[in-house]
Structure 1
Amino acid sequence: MGEQDRGFHAERIQVSYWDVMGNETVRNFAANLPEDEIPETIDSPTTGLPAGRDKENPPSVAKLEPYKTHLAYVKERRSEEEAAQLLEEALVQLRARRGTLTK
């Protein structure tokens, strides 16, 4: 069992990341990976906050974006007039399919 069954295991290095709450996350990377390809920050799987490689100075949250619903994103893209026009077009198509189109 081992390498014969599962193949050769590449050399790896472990890199630790810390978030503001003090949680440590360890990621494994290939040992021959250049240093500039190893990310400086990741998203902590525990808290969702950014985590950095410096334990004493973890990255802080740049800006908290409030949760937006799908409707909020739609309202950013459409004016009230456009929304009314799209709704009317959709209702006309629906009524035409159902055979209840009134003029």
Structure 2
Amino acid sequence: MAGGNAIRGTRVGAGPMGESERGETAPRARVGYHCSNGHLTAPSFASDADIPELWDCPRCGLPAGRDTENPPAAPRTEPYKTHLAYVKERRSDADGAAILEEALGRLRAAREL
């Protein structure tokens, strides 16, 4: 067993932790943000800081605003596009048919050799 004079939960050199040792805290303001799922987030900001209009909800990740009645809408996400979808946006069906015919002509010519 350890010595009877040890104070449990402390370490050597640890002193009292309080306002006197760390200094005064900056004045703070808590601001409430509401997301479209009804979650309330209230981060604290320094009283002289610029407070942002939008804040990300830590529970669902949606943007949250300060207006309780009109929270910001969820951002619209674009669906994943394949490489072929991007090619079809750039080329018409006639262009695709011409490129295919050219490639098939090269394959047929190579086969004849």
TM-score by length of 2: 0.53
- The two structures, once aligned, show a CA RMSD in angstroms of 2.3
Structure 2 residue corresponding to 1:2, chosen from 13, 18, 37: 18
Deviation of 1:67 after TM superposition, in Å, equals: 6.2
Equivalent-residue separation in structure 2 for 1:66 and 1:40 (angstroms): 28
Matched to 1:23, the amino acid is H
Matched to 2:45, the amino acid is F
> SS of 1:63's equivalent?
coil
Equivalent residue for 2:72?
Answer: 59
Higher strand share: 1
Higher helix share: 1
Greater Cα radius of gyration, structure 1 or 2: 2
Ranges in structure 2 where 5+ consecutive residues have no aligned partner? 1-16, 88-113
Equivalent residue for 1:89?
Answer: none
Equivalent-residue separation in structure 2 for 1:48 and 1:16 (angstroms): 16
Structure 2 residue corresponding to 1:31, chosen from 47, 54, 65: 47
> SS of 1:18's equivalent?
strand
Higher relative contact order (CA 8 A, sep 6+): 1
Ranges in structure 1 where 5+ consecutive residues have no aligned partner? 80-103
Q: What percent identity do the matched residue pairs reach?
A: 49
TM-score by length of 1: 0.57
Equivalent residue for 1:12?
Answer: 28
